[in-house]
Amino acid sequence: MGYFRAMTPRSRPKPPAPHRVVALLQPPQSAFTLACASEVFGDHGPALPARYTFEVCTEHPGPVRTQDGYDMLVTAGLDALERADTVLIPGWQQPPGTEVPPAVVAAVRRAHRRGARVVALCSGAFVLAAAGLLDGRRAATHWARAAELAARFPQVRVDPAVLYVDHGDVATSAGSAAGVDLCLHLVSADQGAAYAMRIARQMVMPPHREGCQLQYAELPTSGSVTDSLAPLLEWLSGRLDQPVSVADMAVRSQVSPRTLTRRFAEQLGISPGRWLLDRRIAATRALLEETDLPVETIARKVGLSSAVNLRRRFHEALRTTPAAYRRAFRAERAG
């Protein structure tokens, strides 16, 4: 009798509550930076199960002026941060030298002390720095404001080159597009690589870039649009199960291996081999999360040749084994 009661739908464990993301807006608000976050953490319709809720708040509820010539009506005040799992600052568009309002600083500090993750996109790093959350830590911001951030907050180790920096409890990103990369990185950390990849596909985005990559992909002055790596990266992403060398990539791009390696360094800040390995590790994570395939089979599917090689590469990247990762991820999703 008890067995059948245990199998009834009413006795099944409830799914975990969605992770609540609250964005703190400040006039003049960058609508694009806000949209970058809401596109990742917002509602994706029936195509994806909802694992986040997305809200906005502001210091003074009411119309919030944007940089784009219109106002947004925001009805929630700073008390909304008290129920946030992640507090998100989508930019700080004030003139140089402007102080962050004391009430905003205090609310952000309280949320962090309570255990909320605090994330700044682009110039939002100024708010985190004013709250003291970046003292003694590396931080990213838009390259055009990196010198200002370093001068105003010398205790912050500003890195003007990288796309984002994630410390776990605090994270910062470069410009708006890098904010999408950081948000997808956080989704991958929260919900797994497979779920983050689904969001990227829903947004018609390539897999997110790693934080160590460069902020901007400027082509040399003498270069042309044909120097872009985008077609090659798309080609590689569809062939992860195949062995591909730097020489193969160079032939595909119709350049020498040396020229191709230089373009990767200039545009992405990493080598061709490192980029390809990162994609293969991401694909491995997704297969471990969503399938029961043996490690040997996964190794072939992602182009890592053997279970031994996959385990070594996976441990180098994530400091854990594929089996431990699969168990931990499934236990977390179940609980």
Q: For the CA atoms of 91, 95, 97, 98, what is the dihedral angle to 10 degrees?
A: -70
CB atoms closer than 10 angstroms to residue 54: 20
Using pLDDT thresholds of 50, 70 and 90, give the confidence band for residue 56: very high
- Predicted local distance difference test score (pLDDT) of residue 18: 93
- Predicted local distance difference test score (pLDDT) of residue 135: 97
Residue 63, strand partner residues: 73
What is the per-residue DSSP string for 145-206? GHHHHHHH-TTSEE-SSBSEEE-SSEEEESSHHHHHHHHHHHHHHHH-HHHHHHHHHHTT-P
Geometric angle at alpha carbon 319, from 318 and 325, rounded to 5°? 70
Q: Encode pLDDT of 282-295 as tens digits.
A: 899 889 988 999 99
Q: Considering only CA atoms, which of 276, 291, 290, 284 is closest in space to residue 322?
A: 284
- Predicted local distance difference test score (pLDDT) of residue 219: 36
- Predicted local distance difference test score (pLDDT) of residue 284: 93
Residue 4, pLDDT > 50, answer no
Mean pLDDT over 154-158 rounds to 94
Label the pairing between strands 62-65 and 71-74: antiparallel
Geometric angle at alpha carbon 200, from 182 and 248, rounded to 5°? 95
- Predicted local distance difference test score (pLDDT) of residue 3: 39
Domains of the chain are: 19-202 (3.40.50.880), 222-335 (1.10.10.60)
- Predicted local distance difference test score (pLDDT) of residue 26: 95
Q: Encode pLDDT of 162-190 as tens digits.
A: 889 999 999 999 887 788 989 999 999 89
45: Cβ–Cβ under 8 A, 6 or more apart, which residues?
none
Mean pLDDT, rounded, of the chain:
86
The answer to whether the Cα torsion of 249, 255, 257, 261 is positive or negative is: negative
C-alpha 90/C-alpha 55 separation (Å) is 12
132: Cβ–Cβ under 8 A, 6 or more apart, which residues?
109
Residue 211, pLDDT > 70, answer no
* Furthest-apart CA atoms within the chain: distance in Å: 78
- Predicted local distance difference test score (pLDDT) of residue 198: 87
- Predicted local distance difference test score (pLDDT) of residue 205: 67
Helices (H) and strands (E) in the chain, counts: 14, 10
Using pLDDT thresholds of 50, 70 and 90, give the confidence band for residue 14: low
51 in Cβ contact with 18 (< 8 Å): yes
